[in-house]
């Protein structure tokens, strides 16, 4: 309730804040990718929040040919994409006094994907494909039912027409049949054909009814399978949402409670192995056990690891002992029983 003048001043301040923000962002992009390579930097207001569209030509110097070239894969590398949001956030905090909240959120934090989430996504996609197959099967069964019902209707109509024809030939005058001698043989022939057609129609009707019953039973089974699959699908979606919530909570704890902004891929793999060891989820495969040992050994030599060296040493000894047990078990199996 600050009036037209106050509201105008508010919009003016908001506009200049946006302008300063986008100018600082453009300067960062020009420094990162080269102002001489910039094509356009345009602010769009077609969504809830204004946003910047920045276009540039990815130019790098080719040392072998001693000339510049265009190469997106050499400019927009995996390292560049992983550090982009963090670098932009730090730049804006330095140059903008009003910039506090930051641009980083759970979508821009440079964490590796959790293996469990990937597993759920794979299962989710497989279920969607299976659901599509089931729905297609249901549509095919419904089409067969429609055709079968139509055939039964046509058979019933044919039987009624035969009865009408028989009655028309049996008309009489004063209680006597009105038929010429020449018509008698034709009547007998038509009557025999009608009887044969009637028997054939009844036979086909029974077969169609039997087929209809089978199709309905199959359709009921498919619909039951579809319902079970749908419930499994919904349960999996809930598990995926719960897992994502847990993932976001762990990211928040690491960043805000312990100041950990990044986890290297090797640390993630090592912690996965240590978790398996701590919970006695041991592999029986020698190749897998050796890969565990390689993972822990590699991280043990990494000076930037956040994992306790004591814990890594204990894990390495556990895996070595596990490999020895697998070797002994394999030797006993191939040696066979003693005589």
Q: What is the pLDDT of residue 174?
A: 47
Give the β-pairing of 172-173 and 176-177: antiparallel
Range among 105-119, 124-138, 168-182, 233-247 with highest mean pLDDT value = 233-247
Residue 175 predicted with pLDDT over 60: no
Judged on CB neighbours under 10 Å (0-12, 13-18, 19+), 322 is: buried
Query: What is the SS3 assignment for 116?
Result: helix
Q: Backbone phi, then psi, for 64, in 5-degree steps?
A: -65, -40
Tell me the H-state helices in 177-308. Answer: 181-252, 265-278, 286-300
Distance CA 145, CA 142 (A): 5
Length of the chain: 339
Judged on CB neighbours under 10 Å (0-12, 13-18, 19+), 26 is: middle
Is the Cα dihedral 112, 116, 120, 126 positive or negative? positive
Query: What is the SS3 assignment for 172?
Result: strand
- Say which residues have a Cβ less than 8 Å from residue 291's Cβ, sequence separation at least 6: none
Residue 4 predicted with pLDDT over 90: no
* Largest distance between two CA atoms of the chain: 119
For the chain, domain boundaries: 3-95, 115-257, 265-335
Q: What is the pLDDT of residues 49-61, one digit of tens each?
A: 788 899 999 998 8
Judged on CB neighbours under 10 Å (0-12, 13-18, 19+), 224 is: exposed
Distance CA 25, CA 23 (A): 5
Give 3-95's CATH code, choosing from 3.20.20.70, 3.40.605.10, 3.30.930.30, 3.90.700.10.
3.30.930.30
Q: What is the pLDDT of residue 336?
A: 55
115-257 maps to which CATH number? Answer: 1.10.287
CB 212 within 8 A of CB 106: no
Q: What is the pLDDT of residue 339?
A: 46
Q: Quick one: DSSP state of residue 256?
A: I
Residue with token string 């102002």: 35
Q: How far apart are the first and last CA of the chain?
A: 98
Q: What is the pLDDT of residue 278?
A: 92
Cβ count within 10 A of residue 309: 10
What does pTM read for this prediction? 0.34
Please report which confidence band the pLDDT of residue 277 belongs to, taking 50, 70 and 90 as the band edges. very high
CB 58 within 8 A of CB 37: yes
- The torsion region of residue 302 among left (phi > 0), alpha (psi -120 to 50) and beta comes to beta
Residue with token string 């409670």: 257
Range among 14-18, 176-180, 269-273 with highest mean pLDDT value = 269-273
Distance CA 19, CA 43 (A): 9
Distance CA 157, CA 310 (A): 88
CB 25 within 8 A of CB 90: no
Query: What is the SS3 assignment for 216?
Result: helix
Q: What is the pLDDT of residue 191?
A: 57
């Amino acid at each position: 309730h600050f009036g037209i003048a106050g509201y105008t001043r508010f919009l003016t301040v908001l506009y200049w804040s946006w302008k300063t923000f986008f100018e600082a962002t453009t300067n960062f992009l020009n420094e990162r990718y080269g102002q001489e390579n910039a094509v356009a930097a345009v602010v769009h207001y077609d969504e809830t929040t204004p946003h910047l569209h920045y276009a540039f030509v990815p130019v790098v110097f080719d040392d072998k040919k001693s000339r510049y070239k265009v190469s997106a894969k050499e400019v927009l590398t995996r390292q560049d994409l992983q550090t982009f949001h963090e670098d932009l956030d730090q730049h804006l905090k330095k140059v903008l006094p009003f910039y506090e909240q930051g641009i980083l959120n759970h979508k821009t934090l440079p964490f590796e994907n959790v293996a469990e989430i990937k597993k759920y996504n794979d299962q989710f996609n497989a279920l969607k494909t299976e659901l599509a197959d089931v729905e297609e099967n249901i549509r095919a069964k419904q089409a067969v039912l429609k055709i079968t019902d139509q055939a039964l209707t046509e058979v019933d109509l044919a039987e009624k027409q035969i009865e009408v024809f028989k009655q028309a030939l049996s008309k009489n005058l004063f209680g006597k049949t009105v038929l010429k001698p020449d018509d008698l043989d034709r009547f007998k022939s038509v009557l025999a054909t009608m009887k044969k057609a009637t028997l054939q129609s009844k036979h086909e009707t029974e077969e169609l009814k039997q087929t209809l019953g089978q199709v309905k039973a199959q359709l009921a089974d498919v619909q039951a399978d579809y319902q079970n699959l749908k419930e499994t699908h919904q349960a999996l979606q809930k598990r995926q949402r719960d897992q994502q919530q847990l993932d976001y909570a762990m990211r928040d704890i690491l960043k805000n409670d312990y100041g950990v902004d990044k986890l290297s891929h090797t640390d993630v793999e090592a912690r996965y192995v240590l978790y398996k060891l701590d919970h006695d989820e041991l592999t029986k495969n020698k190749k897998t056990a050796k890969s565990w040992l390689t993972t822990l050994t590699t991280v043990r030599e990494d000076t930037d690891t956040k994992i306790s060296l004591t814990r890594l040493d204990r894990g390495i000894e556990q895996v070595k002992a596990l490999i020895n047990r697998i070797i002994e078990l394999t030797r006993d199996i191939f040696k066979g029983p003693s005589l």
